[in-house]
Structure 1
Amino acid sequence: MVLLQETKRSTIDEKFVISIWGREQMDFMAVDSAGAAGGLLCIWNPEVFQLVDCCSNRNFIILSVVDLPMMERKFTWCNSQEGEKWSRIDRFLLNPEWLQMFNFKLWGLPRMISDHCPILLMEDERDWGPTPFRFLNAWTLHPKFRPFVENTWLEANVVGWASFKCLQKLKILKLALKQWDKDVFGDVEHKLNQVEEEIHALDLSAEDRPLSEVEQARRREAKGIAWKLSKMVEWAWLQKSRIKWSTQGDRNTKFFHIMASSRRTRNSLCSIVVNGIVKEDPMEVRAAVQQHFINQFTESSRIRPRLSGPFLSIGGTEDVQLLEAEFSKAEIEAAVKSCEGNKAPGSDGFNHMMFKKCWKVIKADVLQFMKEFHQNTKLVEALIALLLL
């Protein structure tokens, strides 16, 4: 597909479009210019893109409805006069299904002598390496999830401080969940489609003849499985989209899928400037980001100021004892339960949902960790970095 603006042609015919396109298969839509100003032209391959509906006037051609965020620049137009005025006039509007199929990036290019800067839509095919682990809330809906976590956690034979044991057990659990996701949880959307097709086939049979008792029982069972799988799919895309489920209970997976794709595009770090040099290679970008955070969390001096009392503003002896008291089991459990499950996963990929759903399994280790921390005021170095990030 090609989209051109400022064609400055009062009429655009098929012969002119063929001279630009250079291929046999072609459809196009054009908006004529007003004299030497304006003019829009959109050309596409009908074997790839099917035009269902469109809308146009002198200023735009709309073939789709999703606006992509732009990389590198904020604006696409400048009046080039004294007292400059900037605006983002030029946009790509995409069919929502495209965001599910392609990893698009929209770039703003140098403006040069024109009032407008060119914009380039392209698929980002760079290899950014393996996807980081993220705990998927939908896993908790699977009947085998809890027993698997319990067995993995209890079988992890780790010796050392409680903080070290928690850190190592979380690492072991993360690797185990990655494999469990592939072997057991699997492609939920594919499983859901298979079950829905089976239900549909049984419904069609029921229209022609009475179903046997076995078929009726299977249809009831399949509907129950389909309901559970649909919930898993909804939870997965809801979590990825980071949208509050204002329509709770209504299956709107496509909306969450589109929002997750838009969020991924908006938050992606495609390039970075280091000492005035633009880095676009994935390995160079990752190295620069890593070095930035190493610098942020590295201190040149180990000498830290110490505080000594008495602090009269705190209160009496009872208040001081209350502040210095050991963390109680009730306090720790209340803190865990009060956290919203879908918020801010740590750098290890685990969010609060995992701690809430698996609290009975990990509780003993966490309570021991908090007790030792209160007594020793020390943490494993790797755990400190995890809490900071």
Structure 2
Amino acid sequence: MEEDNFKWVFTGVYGPVVDDERPIFWEELCYVQGLWSFPWCLGGDLNSVRSSSERSTGGRSLEMDQFSDFINEYLLVDLPIEGATYTWSNGRDPITLSRLDKILISGDWEDKFPDVVQAMLERVTSDHVHLVLDCGGLCSQTFPFRFENMWLRSDDFQGKVSSWWEGVTSLEIDRLEEARRDMESLHSRRASCRAVFAEIASMEEISWQQKSRALWLKEGDRNTKFFHQLANAHRRSNHIGRIRVDGEELWREEEVHNGVASFYQKLYTESLVWRPKLDGLHFEAISELDKDRIENPFTEEEVLKALSSCNGDKALGPDGFTMRFLMES
């Protein structure tokens, strides 16, 4: 298929229901995948599950390991289904549910459509749900400011920060906003800095590592593509495409936003006016020495030790400035 001169391949499959035929099925798919080098999208009724959570009856089986080995070998992305856990029902009592239907995509297919979301359509007569890929499924929203640690690698960054903050008072909000805009503009300079591509690539890796939250990998491992895919997975995991409020399913973006806001407004709105009283209760008290220790001001060494132990990719508050910015600026 061709979309904006982007060529990719779709393979529709129906997996075997007999256990002995499944290894042959995975082997045949491996052969089919080797026929081209284009991005790959694979979907259909595979008649297999990857884990016990994809089957209402639970339990482990060899087919799960074979299925997972196939996905891992070809670095396929198993997209979660928005609004559903299972895709098939036996329609009998006792009811059995499984996720037999899947759409799998390759990493380069995801690179082309990073906002892809897998959703389901209503089941009418079939015992399977219908799956659909929405390539613009993630909401296009305005994200709050987040400091990018790669900006610390920019020339004379600390000098710029010093000039921005020199003489700043609590009333000079405009100066702070100007500093933010200047830092954000550093991001757009990557495309024009071809002469220092290696440095830019390193900065990009730091950025995607921060977004991916992969704390167990170190900078310099050259895993930018992995960080990118992991960040996309986090976006899909955090994405709320539809919710059920008072028995009604909401899926339009504005309805979902209003439904979430209404839920938390009710959750944090107090209706009770009664308060328990503590009169007459005896509580153990700390000694005067411990009281003085608690009230002692923190030393500079204690503050520095606490800051150094924090993760450099995380921000302390909604202003978006990370711990690495505070430590190095």
* Common fold: TM-score over 0.5: yes
User: 2:100 aligns to what?
Assistant: 89
Aligned mates of 1:51, 1:304 — CA distance in 2: 67
Determine whether 1:146 maps to 2:158: yes
Asked if residue 73 in structure 1 is aligned to residue 84 in structure 2, the reply is yes
Taking the TM superposition and a 5 Å limit, the aligned residue runs for 1:238-317 are 238-246=209-217, 248-299=219-270, 312-314=284-286, 316-317=287-288
Which residue of structure 2 aligns with residue 37 of structure 1?
none
Cα distance, 1:93 vs. partner?
0.8
What do the CA deviations read for 1:307-364 (whole angstroms, capped 9, x no partner)?
A: 99996452x2111111222333333232222211123663332332222223xxxxxx
What is the Cα deviation at residue 234 of structure 1?
0.6
Measured in 1, the distance between the counterparts of 2:151 and 2:178 equals 15
Deviations 1:218-273 (A, max 9, x none): xxxxxxx3332121011011111111353642212111111111221221122233
Unaligned runs of 5+ in 1: 2-24, 35-48, 160-167, 196-224, 359-389
Q: Decide whether aligned partners of structure 1 residues 187 and 121 sit closer, same or farther in structure 2, where only a CA change above 3 A counts.
A: farther
Structure 2 matches for 1:27-46, cutoff 5 A? none
Structure 1 residue 186 corresponds to structure 2 residue 188: yes
Q: Distance in 1 between matches of 2:278 and 2:162?
A: 42
Counterparts of 1:165-244 in structure 2, within 5 Å, are 173=176, 176-182=179-185, 184-188=186-190, 190-191=191-192, 194-195=194-195, 225-244=196-215
- 1:350 pairs with 2:310: no
Residue in structure 2 matching 1:114, options 96, 115, 126: 126
Does the aligned pair in 1 maintain the 2:14–2:46 contact within 8 Å? Answer: no
* Residues 329 and 289 of structure 1, relative CA distance in 2, 3 Å threshold: farther
- 1:106 and 1:58 mapped to 2: Cα distance? 15
AA aligned to 1:132 is: P
Deviation at 1:283, TM superposition (A): 3.1
Query: Whole-Å Cα distance in 2 between the matches of residues 305 and 325 of structure 1?
Result: 31
Aligned partner of 1:382 in structure 2 is none
Residue 147 of structure 2 is aligned to residue 135 of structure 1? yes
C-alpha deviation, 1:119, in angstroms: 0.8
Structure of larger gyration radius: 1
- Whether contact under 8 Å (1:71, 1:107) holds in the other structure is yes
Q: Which residue of 1 aligns with 2:32?
A: none
Whether the 8 Å CA contact 1:336–1:356 is kept in 2: the answer is yes
1:56/1:303 Cα in 2 relative to 1: closer, same or farther (>3 Å)?
Answer: closer
Tell me: CA distance 1:305–1:151, structure 2 relative to 1, closer, same or farther (3 Å). Answer: farther
Q: 1:77 to 1:354 in 2, by over 3 A?
A: same
Query: How far, CA to CA, are the matches of 1:294 and 1:349 in structure 2?
Result: 25
Identity of aligned residues (%): 29
Rate the CA distance shift 1:288–1:234 in 2: closer, same or farther, 3 A: same
Partner of 1:156: 168
Alpha-carbon distance change, 124 to 305 in structure 1, aligned in 2, over 3 angstroms: farther
Q: Is the 8 A contact 2:40 2:105 kept in 1?
A: no
Task: Supply the AA of the counterpart residue of 1:99.
Answer: E
Other structure's SS at 1:231 match: helix
Tell me how far apart the structure 2 counterparts of residues 88 and 244 of structure 1 sit (CA, whole Å).
Answer: 31
Aligned residue identity for 1:186: S
Cα RMSD after superposing both structures: 4.2
Structure 2 Cα separation of the partners of residues 58 and 71 of structure 1? 17
Partner of 2:111: 100
Distance of aligned partners of 1:356 and 1:306 in 2 relative to their CA distance in 1, 3 Å threshold: farther
Whole-Å separation in 1 of the counterparts to 2:10 and 2:293: 75
For residues 286 and 145 of structure 1, the distance between their equivalents in structure 2, rounded to whole angstroms, comes to 38
TM-score, scaled relative to structure 2: 0.69
| C-alpha separation in 2, matches of 1:335 and 1:30 | 54
Distance 2:318 2:284 in 1: 39
Q: Is the 8 A contact 1:75 1:87 kept in 2?
A: yes
Residue identity in the other structure for 1:95: S
In 1, are the aligned partners of 2:91 and 2:127 still within 8 Å (CA)?
A: yes
Per the alignment, in what secondary structure is the counterpart of residue 108 of structure 1?
strand
**Change over 3 Å in CA distance of 1:330–1:136 after alignment to 2:** same
Partners of 1:321 and 1:308 lie apart in 2 by 26
More helix by share: 1
- Given that residues 121 and 130 in structure 2 are in contact (C-alpha distance below 8 angstroms), is that contact kept between their aligned partners in structure 1? yes
Label 1:57 to 1:122 Cα distance change in 2 as closer, same or farther (>3 A): closer
- 1:90 deviates by 0.8
The runs of 5 or more residues in structure 2 that have no matched partner are 2-6, 17-35, 48-69
TM-score (norm 1): 0.60
Distance 1:115 1:97 in 2: 32
Q: Cα gap change, 1:58/1:73 in structure 2, threshold over 3 Å: closer, same or farther?
A: closer
